[in-house]
């Protein structure tokens, strides 16, 4: 009887979960967190069919605003009431992504053809027509159907396992659009302002590494989120791609600090080439997935969020370089959160910003042009066509920036029709809004142009000390906003102040720690410092000699997370991120950066080198290593990944000859594809191994291990049964690679991509511990 009194829009167990409510309130990307963490490949099927998917105020509002073409309203509402199809994106870098695609199309999808479950023909997944290279697919298969036949169960296991290892991402189709329109290149400095949970961030990282032969692209991604806990989910997502060019920071996006970099010995302001501004929103475009919206929808959410959205977009525009591109997006259909924010930003910019025409950039994508006229409605249904009509009592809730510009010429010059609104019934997706802005000149409130090609940002030091909450309850009117902006000071003065502050401080060379508590209250976990290895540090020469590192190896980019005691892990960042870290320790709260490249052996002093290679950073490190490389065959890789400690004699004669004279210790195991055998694995594999007294082993996390086996055509479930002790033991030994959200800052990040924190059997070196 009690169940009847629960909200009909969610299952009983969700009733008292405030974290879910917060996530649901924050919009599409945020909603996908609950999908990934809790429901996986589950849909809404079978749960609460009695839910009434109706909201008269919602229908009245959007019919009045005419966001849907005439004659399509019924299809629009019908699509909103249908469950959202599951969409997946193949992640990772080019050659590996192509192998996964090949495996999907030629093995798993083929098995679905002509397959019937309960008399119904199974619908084979289809590629998204507008996503490049067939790397994104959608399917109406529910979890219930996936489990009904052995063939589908294999496909289901594939999806689950590859999602866990980060090779496939469950990402809503419309969420993939903003990174594509950002048009990022490997040399671009990119800021992702509201990044958690990170599916868009991973797309950006992939764009940086478009050329896998370049271990350190010139560009980088700084991924920010206001929520400290969600920053660790962001770390977890980013770690899967093992890039030295990603940094996760924790700030309020509307007052994200201006960063400095060293350019030829002088401090200069960092301006970004690309900025992704995927702001918190009311999320009414997510009704197909977030059923709560049907019951809770009101215009009040949009009215409350508009001010925050405008502040975030303004802050992004300030930090964009001249000629740079910023993408503003929401999963809301409401013009108050969409066109109104863009129009207000364009009006304030006085020609510094303009909307780009991206109509031809994603062929195959269907979209509606942005609105040029709209009205504002209160939560009780009262309409206002312009600011002058709003009574004084409503001025705190409704602001002039929410209305379209009055001047027809000014409105026409904005080209608001260049905005893109994605409607659910056009391509069976969620609802979405995206606008692409290009910066033509400095923002008008700067006193003078900076020395960098870019614009000067407004001073926000007083605001930075207390990050605001994610909801932005009070909208800031133009008068208050402009008062803040007009106090802008030139970059030269800011640079001088920064240098004076740092010169007077007691900052240690090569150390980037958390900001002092007086400048910023630290929420959540207090992070360990980032300490770069000094040039004269005695730990490096033995490493350099043991692995015969190339003279071009950028040793200055090596860092640890401790200022005292033995250095247990060595990490690596790109030189550009090193520059950012060293010049911003006073103003930036860094959650995580760098990939692990070496780990100390527990008995390292017994060997010529105390540090062994870490799988997480091997693809970055490999180009600089000139010794201890063993070329292995595909059969060798299978043996090494399915057996715990195979004797050297079990491996091919070519591999045995290379390994027999090597001293004990860490080795690189390299598989090179044979282009003359197109049916075999066609992407290179680099694994970390350990050459023992008479055996060889690999140090590879469980999910990565299963991924490689699957790519080689081995049925993983069968392998587990056959090899029992080998793969199962390995699974137990490496059970921790994906749990990075609970422990200390660095451990959380490490566990996301490597087994080191939890593994004894798999990841401790033979010779350092007693082998089985």
Please spell the DSSP secondary structure of 591-650, one letter per residue: EEE-EEEEEE-TTGGGSS-SEEE-GGGHHHHGGG--SSEEE--HHHHHHHHH-SS-BGGG
pLDDT tens figures, 527-552: 778 899 998 899 899 999 999 999 99
Mention every residue, 6+ apart, whose C-beta is less than 8 A from residue 437.
317, 325, 326, 327, 328, 342, 345, 353, 354, 355, 356
To 5 degrees, how large is the angle CA 737–CA 741–CA 742?
100
d(CA 701, CA 648): 22
In the residue annotation, 683 being an active-site residue is answered as no
pLDDT at 2 over 90: no
So what's the pLDDT on residue 158? Answer: 84
So what's the pLDDT on residue 749? Answer: 38
Write down the catalytic residue from 277, 331, 512, 599: 331
d(CA 768, CA 772): 12
pLDDT tens figures, 75-98: 999 999 998 988 999 987 767 888
d(CA 96, CA 103): 11
Burial bucket for residue 714 (CB in 10 Å: 0-12, 13-18, 19+): middle
First to last CA, the chain: 58
pLDDT tens figures, 250-261: 999 999 999 999
| Residue 138 β-bridge partners | 87, 126
* Three-state helix/strand/coil letters over 331-386: CCCCCCCCHHHHHHHHHHHCCCEEECCCCCCCCCCCCEECCCCCCEECCCCCEECC
Burial bucket for residue 132 (CB in 10 Å: 0-12, 13-18, 19+): exposed
Q: Which two tokens stand for residue 704?
A: 């990565």
d(CA 596, CA 613): 9
SS3 565: coil
Mention every residue, 6+ apart, whose C-beta is less than 8 A from residue 559.
530, 531, 532, 533, 570, 571, 572, 573, 578, 594
pLDDT at 172 over 90: yes
Q: Which two tokens stand for residue 289?
A: 């997935």
pLDDT tens figures, 603-658: 655 677 889 999 999 999 999 999 999 999 999 999 999 998 999 999 999 999 99
- Per the rule left: phi > 0, alpha: psi between -120 and 50, beta: everything else, 260 is beta
Strands (DSSP E) contained in 122-163 are: 126-127, 136-139
| Residue 277 β-bridge partners | 328
So what's the pLDDT on residue 52? Answer: 83
d(CA 638, CA 718): 14
Mention every residue, 6+ apart, whose C-beta is less than 8 A from residue 492.
448, 450, 451
Mean pLDDT lowest for which of 6-20, 433-447, 509-523? Answer: 6-20
Which residues sit in the known binding site for S-adenosyl-L-methionine? 194-200, 225, 252, 278
So what's the pLDDT on residue 43? Answer: 41
- Per the rule left: phi > 0, alpha: psi between -120 and 50, beta: everything else, 741 is alpha
Tokens 């005439």 map to which residue?
70
Residue 275 phi, psi (nearest 5): -130, 130
With beta carbons less than 8 A apart as the criterion, state whether 240 and 91 touch.
yes
Please report the sign of the dihedral spanned by the C-alpha atoms of residue 555, residue 224, residue 327, residue 369: positive
So what's the pLDDT on residue 587? Answer: 87
d(CA 402, CA 480): 15
User: What DSSP state is assigned to residue 567?
Assistant: -
Share of the chain above pLDDT 90, in %: 55
pLDDT at 752 over 80: no
So what's the pLDDT on residue 122? Answer: 81
pLDDT tens figures, 450-509: 444 443 333 333 333 333 333 333 333 333 333 333 334 444 444 444 445 444 444 455
């Amino acid at each position: 009887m009690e169940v009847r009194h629960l909200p009909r829009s969610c299952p009983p167990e969700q009733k008292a979960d405030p974290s879910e409510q917060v996530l649901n309130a924050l919009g599409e990307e945020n909603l996908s967190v609950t999908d990934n963490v809790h429901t996986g490949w589950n849909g809404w099927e079978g749960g609460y069919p009695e839910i009434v998917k109706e909201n008269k105020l919602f229908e009245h509002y959007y019919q009045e605003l005419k966001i849907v073409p005439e004659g399509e309203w019924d299809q629009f509402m019908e699509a909103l009431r249908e469950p959202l199809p599951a969409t997946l994106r193949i992640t990772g870098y080019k050659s590996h992504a192509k192998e996964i695609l090949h495996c999907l199309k030629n093995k798993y999808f083929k098995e679905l053809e002509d397959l019937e479950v309960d008399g119904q023909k199974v619908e084979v997944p289809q590629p998204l027509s507008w996503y490049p290279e067939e790397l994104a697919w959608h399917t109406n298969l529910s979890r219930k159907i996936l489990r009904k036949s052995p063939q589908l169960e294999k496909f289901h296991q594939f999806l689950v396992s590859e999602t866990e290892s980060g090779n496939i991402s469950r990402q809503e189709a419309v969420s993939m659009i903003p990174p594509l329109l950002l048009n990022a290149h490997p040399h671009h400095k990119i800021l992702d302002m509201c990044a958690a949970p990170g599916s868009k961030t991973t797309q950006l990282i992939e764009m940086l590494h478009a050329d896998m032969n370049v271990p350190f692209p010139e560009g980088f991604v700084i991924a920010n989120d206001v929520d400290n806990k969600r920053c660790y989910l962001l770390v977890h997502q980013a770690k899967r791609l093992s890039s030295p060019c990603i940094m996760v920071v924790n700030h309020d996006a509307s007052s994200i600090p201006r960063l400095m970099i060293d350019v030829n010995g002088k401090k200069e302001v960092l301006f970004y080439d690309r900025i992704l501004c995927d702001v918190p929103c009311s999320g009414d475009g997510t009704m197909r997935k977030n059923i709560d919206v049907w019951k809770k929808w009101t215009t009040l959410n949009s009215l409350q969020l508009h001010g925050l959205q405008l502040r975030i977009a303004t802050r992004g525009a300030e930090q964009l370089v001249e000629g740079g591109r910023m993408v503003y997006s929401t999963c809301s259909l409401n013009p108050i959160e969409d066109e109104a924010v863009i129009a207000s930003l364009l009006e304030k910019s006085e020609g510094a910003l303009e909307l780009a025409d991206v109509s031809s950039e994603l062929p195959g994508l269907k979209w509606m042009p942005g609105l040029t006229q709209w009205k504002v409605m209160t939560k009780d249904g009262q309409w206002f066509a312009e600011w002058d009509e709003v009574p004084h009592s409503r001025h705190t809730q409704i602001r002039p920036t929410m209305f379209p510009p009055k001047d027809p010429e000014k409105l026409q010059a904005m080209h608001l029709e260049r905005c893109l609104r994605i409607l659910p019934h056009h391509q069976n997706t969620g609802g979405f809004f995206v606008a692409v802005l290009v910066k033509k000149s400095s923002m008008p409130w700067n006193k003078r142009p900076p020395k960098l090609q870019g614009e000067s940002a407004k001073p926000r030091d007083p605001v930075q000390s207390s990050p605001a909450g994610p909801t932005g309850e009070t909208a800031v009117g133009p008068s208050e906003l402009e008062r803040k902006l007009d106090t802008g000071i030139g970059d030269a003065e800011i640079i001088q102040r920064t240098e004076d502050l740092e010169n007077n401080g007691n900052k240690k060379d090569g150390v980037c720690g958390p900001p002092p508590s007086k400048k910023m209250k630290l929420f959540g976990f207090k992070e360990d410092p980032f300490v770069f290895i000094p040039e004269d540090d005695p730990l490096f020469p033995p490493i350099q000699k043991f692995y015969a590192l190339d003279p071009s190896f950028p040793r200055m980019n090596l860092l640890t997370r401790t200022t005292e005691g033995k250095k247990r892990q060595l990490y690596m960042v790109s030189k550009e991120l090193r520059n950012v870290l060293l010049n911003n320790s006073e103003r930036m709260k860094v959650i995580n950066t760098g990939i692990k490249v070496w780990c100390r052996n527990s008995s390292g002093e017994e060997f010529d080198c105390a540090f062994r290679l870490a799988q997480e950073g091997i693809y970055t490190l490999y180009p600089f290593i000139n010794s201890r490389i063993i070329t292995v065959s595909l059969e060798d890789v299978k043996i090494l990944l399915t057996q715990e400690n195979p004797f050297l004699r079990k491996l091919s004669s070519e591999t045995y000859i290379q390994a027999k004279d090597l001293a004990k210790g860490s080795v690189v195991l390299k598989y090179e594809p044979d282009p003359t055998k197109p049916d075999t694995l066609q992407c290179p594999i680099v694994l970390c191994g350990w050459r023992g007294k008479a055996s060889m082993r690999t140090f590879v996390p469980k999910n990565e291990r299963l991924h490689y086996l699957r790519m080689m055509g081995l049925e993983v479930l069968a392998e587990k049964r056959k090899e029992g002790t080998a793969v199962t033991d390995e699974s137990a030994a490496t059970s921790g690679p994906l749990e990075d959200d609970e422990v200390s800052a660095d451990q959380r990040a490490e566990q996301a991509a490597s087994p080191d924190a939890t593994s004894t059997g798999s990841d401790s070196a033979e010779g350092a511990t007693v082998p089985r």
